[in-house]
């Protein structure tokens, strides 16, 4: 199986030993504590599960700036996005060398991790602008990711962490949430070595399904990892539990047994386009995948990124830094001429009218009215689940 990023083995920061974890939970009750942002809690979950190997904790200002500007820490480790614990006010932990981090996403705010504080620094306005522009490609506060990044504070608490739990994800998504450690174990049991990963924050329609099948066949893979984001999304996105039902139904009915693993990860969407595509590649390599499907406007939002920016960013990334291969996909759609879903740039003699093309807005309108999209766009069983969801919104 492919090696993790920058390491011979995964480096999960979750304290798996029950006795050690119990002792740390007891210690946490005696430590100065701080309520972290949802993004910082999600970073803890990803660090805990080994997804962010070889990163060992939250970055300091120097590393964050270096990563933003060069996609490399000050020590030279390749990494595409800052991994931060930033807050508005750190006065509650002033002078502390060891602190408890409280989870904002679980009732009662239990401690999610213990952090050794190496530094407490403040990003300047200029540094925040530089980071924002480098990571998101824009400083526009109408960009949902930019707004989130710039409204949680500028005080940076850096240092290694010990993760005590995986927040709400195991409880709310027991059959789907998996750490990178667990995914590697499951793929190992299946005997998979060449694995295609598909990232999704949306339900999968027929074109997505066929794209996974195309990649699987083209690279002669042993299996497909459908890996869905389970964390915070922007308003209007389909909730994770609904997506989960849709994807499970699709795989159950339309894929051969033991060719697909349906899993999810506990991270909040950044909507950072190209940089987030690279981040996705990093943690899919850590999962053990050899290929990641990157389609048009991968991890994008609005019109902030070009349709293939998330593919061309990989042109300048060395195989020494990132071993996973990128399966570059164009728009996929049903061809009326050929009677099947195709990658649009692979077929000749087609005009726009020869494809079944529906906008997301149009599909949502249809589903909201209880109308199933055409079978050339969506599996009827998947559409039924989505119609039930949209009907529930109208109550």
Show which residues are catalytic. Answer: 201-202
- The answer to whether residues 137 and 80 touch, using CB atoms and an 8 Å cutoff, is no
Strand 86-87 with 98-102, pairing: unpaired
3-state secondary structure of 216: helix
- Closest to 13 measured CA to CA, from 59, 58, 50, 54: 50
Which burial class, exposed, middle or buried, applies to 85 when counting CB atoms under 10 A from its CB (0-12, 13-18, 19+)?
Answer: buried
For tokens 């993004």, the residue is 39
- The answer to whether residues 226 and 260 touch, using CB atoms and an 8 Å cutoff, is yes
| Interatomic CA distance for residues 135 and 241, integer angstroms | 29
- Closest to 165 measured CA to CA, from 44, 40, 50: 44
15's tokens: 């304290």
3-state secondary structure of 58: strand
Between the CA of residue 107 and those of 84, 104, 167, 256, 290, what are the distances in Å? 23, 8, 10, 40, 38
| Interatomic CA distance for residues 228 and 265, integer angstroms | 6
Span between the terminal Cα atoms of the chain, in Å: 49
394's tokens: 């109208």
Q: How many other C-beta atoms can be found within 10 angstroms of the C-beta atom of residue 271?
A: 23
| Interatomic CA distance for residues 253 and 244, integer angstroms | 14
Cis peptide before 54 (omega within 30 of 0): yes
13's tokens: 């920061």
Largest CA distance in the chain: 70
| Interatomic CA distance for residues 168 and 166, integer angstroms | 6
């Amino acid at each position: 199986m492919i090696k993790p990023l920058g390491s011979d083995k995964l480096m999960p920061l979750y304290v798996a030993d029950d006795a050690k974890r119990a002792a740390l939970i007891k210690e946490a009750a005696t430590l100065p504590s701080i309520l972290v942002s949802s993004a910082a809690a999600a970073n803890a979950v990803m660090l805990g599960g080994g997804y962010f190997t070889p990163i060992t904790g939250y970055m300091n200002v120097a590393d964050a700036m270096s990563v933003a500007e060069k996609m490399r820490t000050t020590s030279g480790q390749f990494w595409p996005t800052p991994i931060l614990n930033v807050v508005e006010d750190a006065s509650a932990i002033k002078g502390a060398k060891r602190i408890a981090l409280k989870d904002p996403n679980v009732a009662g705010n239990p401690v999610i991790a213990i952090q050794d504080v190496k530094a407490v620094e403040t990003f300047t306005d200029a540094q925040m602008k530089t980071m924002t522009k480098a990571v998101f490609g824009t400083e526009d506060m109408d960009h949902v990711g930019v707004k989130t990044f710039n409204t949680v504070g500028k005080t940076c608490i850096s240092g290694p962490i010990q993760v005590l739990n995986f927040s709400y994800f195991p409880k709310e998504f027991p059959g789907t949430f998996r750490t990178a450690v667990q995914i590697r174990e499951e793929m190992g049991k299946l005997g998979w070595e060449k694995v295609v990963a598909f990232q999704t924050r949306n339900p999968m329609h027929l074109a997505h399904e066929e794209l996974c099948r195309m990649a699987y066949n083209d690279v002669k893979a042993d299996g497909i990892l459908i890996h869905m984001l389970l964390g915070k999304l922007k308003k209007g996105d389909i909730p994770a539990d609904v997506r989960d039902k849709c994807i499970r139904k699709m795989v159950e009915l339309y894929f051969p047994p033991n060719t697909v693993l349906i899993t999810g990860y506990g991270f909040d969407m950044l909507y950072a386009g190209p940089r987030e595509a690279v981040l996705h590649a990093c943690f899919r390599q850590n999962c053990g995948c050899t290929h990641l499907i990157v389609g048009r406007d991968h991890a994008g939002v609005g019109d902030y990124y070009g349709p293939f920016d998330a593919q061309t960013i990989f042109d300048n990334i060395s195989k020494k830094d990132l071993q996973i291969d990128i399966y570059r996909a164009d728009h996929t759609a049903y061809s009326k001429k050929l009677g099947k879903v195709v990658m649009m740039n692979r077929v000749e003699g087609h005009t726009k009218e020869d494809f079944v093309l529906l906008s997301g807005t149009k599909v949502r309108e249809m589903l909201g009215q209880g109308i199933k999209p055409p079978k050339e766009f969506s599996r009827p069983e998947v559409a039924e689940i989505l119609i039930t969801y949209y009907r529930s919104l109208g109550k």
